[in-house]
Each structure stands twice: as C-alpha cells, then as structure tokens.
Chain A
Amino acid sequence: DQQVKQNSPSLSVQEGRISILNCDYTNSMFDYFLWYKKYPAEGPTFLISISSIKDKNEDGRFTVFLNKSAKHLSLHIVPSQPGDSAVYFCAASDVGGDDKIIFGKGTRLHILP
C-alpha cells in the first residue's frame, strides 16, 4: 500500500508559468516531507523540505505547501524554466519510526518553450 502518492505521472507547463506538483500521503505519523529532483542518468538531488510543524517553506523559485488536515503537499515552481524539466519525487519520513524515507513514484515535469 502506497503511503506517499503522486497521482500525476507527468505534467507539461509553459516556460515562465507556474508548475504545481502534488503529493498525497496516508501516514499521519510522517513529520518531515522532502522533494527530490532527478535528471535522466543521474541520481536524485535534494530540492526542498518542510517540517510538519510548518505549512510553507520557500527557497528561491521553489515553495512547498503542506496541508496536514488534507494529508496533502504541493511543490510550486515560479517561474518555470527549461532546466526544471525532470522527474520530481515527493518523499516523507517519520522521525520516531524506522529512520527510512518513503518515496512517491514521481512526476515527470516537461517545461515547454
């Protein structure tokens, strides 16, 4: 049973517009959420994270929003750039649990010129 779900396998967005990637989770014990970005033939790289005690974290063009009551988080990229084309993995962890991070299946983002 998937604890972290990314229901959109792919997303296409015009360059300069906002990209919104969504993620849902089922485990209410998760208290840290992360986004990773992955280019083909490379390993995932850490992008941004948020603690469950916050509802928003911003880093440059990237903002993550957390809605705990809905068990939903989203990654906003503004403005979208060609280099943002990649696969984005949502991930979550339970600090009091087994020290493992659970990953979603990923969303492939295409930035259109």
Chain B
Amino acid sequence: DVKVTQSSRYLVKRTGEKVFLECVQDMDHENMFWYRQDPGLGLRLIYFSYDVKMKEKGDIPEGYSVSREKKERFSLILESASTNQTSMYLCASSPAESTSSSYGYTFGSGTRLTVV
C-alpha cells in the first residue's frame, strides 16, 4: 500500500523554538507539498518541490522553510515557532504530471502542531 508518512501525529512546541516536521513517501513521487489546514480557511499551500534540492513558495511561505535533500523526504521547518502557526500540517506527494492523473495527490495523516 502506497504511503506518505509524517513523523509525528501530535506536537507541542514553545514560542521561539525551531521546529522540524518530517515527511517521507515510498512511491518514488517527484512532487511533494506542504499544506496547513485551519477551520474556515481550507488547505493552504506553504511550499512545494518538484525535484530534489528544488523548492517553490506556495501561498503562505512566511515563517517557514523547507528542505529536500532526497527524493523521498521533504521537511518543513518553522524557523521560530509562533502561536499563529498552531495548525494541522499536511504533507502530500504526487507523480510528475500529477494534474493529468485521476487521483491527484496522496496525503499523509497530518501533524497537529500546537505552539504555546
């Protein structure tokens, strides 16, 4: 069964901490994405990557950075966590030419991050 695995389901961090959220996929997908989901705001794209060592800003990149050193791993970094970054974070992956596929993205189970 194909999988996108996020390292933590629940995380509590203090304001100002540097936070790493890890995502690994086993489908040999080229594309990987980080979203956050907030009530009433839906899924908002933070960063994405179409290849190793490549990254592109999404709609809300401020306060975040990413790293993709290997094809299967895409890390989201909160440089200095703030309370407004409390959210559900979702990683997704897709093959190249995903928009022509019938299923789009495969999502991980999410990480519920609380910043106190």
A contacts, CB < 8 Å to B: 6, 9, 32, 34, 36, 38, 41-46, 49, 89, 91, 93-95, 97, 99-101, 103-106
Contact = CB atoms under 8 A, between A and B. Distances in A.
Contact of B9 (A34, A41, A46, A49): A41
A95 B42 contact: no
B74 to A, nearest CB: 14
A2 B100 CA distance: 22
A41 B99 CA distance: 26
Interface stretch (B11-19, B64-72, B102-110): B102-110
Contacts of B99: 32, 93-95, 97, 99-101
A99 to B, nearest CB: 5
Nearest to A103: B43
Interface in B62-113: 90, 92, 96-100, 102-110, 112
B112 A49 contact: no
B52 interface: no
Given A99-B97, A105-B40, A105-B42, A44 B9 contact: no
Contacts of B110: 41-43
B31 interface: yes
B34 interface: no
B24 to A, nearest CB: 14
A89 B105 contact: no
16 contacts: A9-B40, A34-B104, A41-B9, A43-B4, A44-B43, A44-B90, A46-B103, A49-B102, A95-B99, A100-B99, A101-B98, A103-B42, A103-B43, A104-B42, A105-B40, A105-B42
A55 B86 CA distance: 40
Nearest to B58: A100
A113 to B, nearest CB: 24
B90 to A, nearest CB: 5
The winner among A6, A34, A101, A104 for most chain B CB atoms within 10 A is: A101
The winner among B50, B90, B100, B105 for most chain A CB atoms within 10 A is: B105
